[in-house]
Amino acid sequence: MPKSGASKQRLLRTLHRRTGVVIAVLVIWLAISGVMLNHSAGLRLNDRHIGADLAEAIYGLQPESVESGFLVAEQWLATAENQLFVGSQPVASGYQNLLAAVALPPMFIVAVDSKSVTLLLSSGELVERLYGADLPVQQIATASSSDEFLLLWSESGRCFRSTNSELVAWQPCSEAQRQTAPVTQATLPAEQRQAIEKQLGGAKISWQQLLLDLHSGKAVGWLGRLLADSSAILLILLAVTGLVMASRRRKL
């Protein structure tokens, strides 16, 4: 074989080998991520969410700032990104604004927004959420407690109290109960605020979504598209160099 031909053959082999190494890495990643996505239900990837730091780094999501809440039975209750938090754990969604949170001894905590009342165990576990016909007030203005009863005020100023801690029956407040001051929010301690904010942002992104976005290259934006295009070109190059080398072997 002439020197020029041997030189070209070595160049083709080197190009083919290095292209193969790069493609192998990409294929291994696509294979692993593809298998994980196929078994995402068994791995519960959609039930698990990435942290706020990772969500900010990859998606640029900034967590909502949480400044205030209610301290009840030695636990902080606050809302952020339409979620109700007890301590640092989200327990209910669909919360626009937390109007009040009070204790109903000996075992319940109640969280109130403008359209619902949420009953929780003192440990923070969700019991039930009451709406509409279950409540004496359709649009709640504020709330408080008196003598272990929950008090609700309508926007027109009418006051109702629960007749038991399970909140299944209501009656108009007494004159003394109407004079009860509504509970007010307090500034969250920095440690509590940071604990809640760590659950935000990343709480919107499941591991399944992240894996899918990494698998497709979407998670890294234009770089992902460039990587996908480069992979396609490298696959073509790998195939072409392989065919060229195979055809030259036949000639020999």
Residue 149 has pLDDT above 50, yes or no: yes
Average pLDDT over residues 98-114: 90
pLDDT at 1: 47
Q: Find the mean pLDDT for residues 103-113.
A: 89
Higher pLDDT, 219 or 114: 114
Q: What is the pLDDT of residues 178-216, one digit of tens each?
A: 999 888 899 998 888 888 877 776 556 778 888 888 877
CA distance 158 to 152: 8
The 10s digit of each residue's pLDDT in 157-181 is 999 999 887 788 899 999 999 999 8
Q: How far is CA 90 from the centre of its chain?
A: 10
Query: Between 63 and 185, where is the model more confident?
Result: 185
Give the pLDDT confidence score for residue 171 in this predicted structure. 93
134 has pLDDT over 70: yes
pLDDT in tens, 27-62: 787 788 888 888 888 888 887 777 767 777 777 776
Buried b (16+ CB within 10 A) or exposed e, 40-77: beeeebeeebbebebbeebbebebeebeebbbbbebbb
Q: Is the pLDDT of residue 96 over 80?
A: no
What residues does 83 pair with on adjacent strands?
A: 80, 93
Q: Answer with the residue of higher pLDDT: 244 or 79.
A: 79
Higher pLDDT, 92 or 61: 92
Q: Choose between 121 and 7: higher pLDDT.
A: 121
pTM of the model: 0.59
The yes-or-no verdict on residue 124 having pLDDT over 50 is: yes
SS (H, E, C) the chain: CCHHHHHHHHHHHHHHHHHHHHHHHHHHHHHHHHHHHHCHHHHCCCCCECCHHHHHHHHCCCCCCCCEEEEECCEEEEEECCEEEECCEEEEECCCCCCEEEEECCCEEEEECCCEEEEEECCCCEEEEEEHHHCCCCCEEEEEEECCEEEEEECCCCEEEECCCCCCCEEECCHHHHCCCCCCCEECCHHHHHHHHCCCCHHHCEHHHHHHHHHHCHHHCHHHHHHHHHHHHHHHHHHHHHHHHHHHHHHC
**pLDDT at residue 95 in the model:** 83
Superfamily assignment of 68-187 in CATH?
A: YVTN repeat-like/Quinoprotein amine dehydrogenase (2.130.10.10)
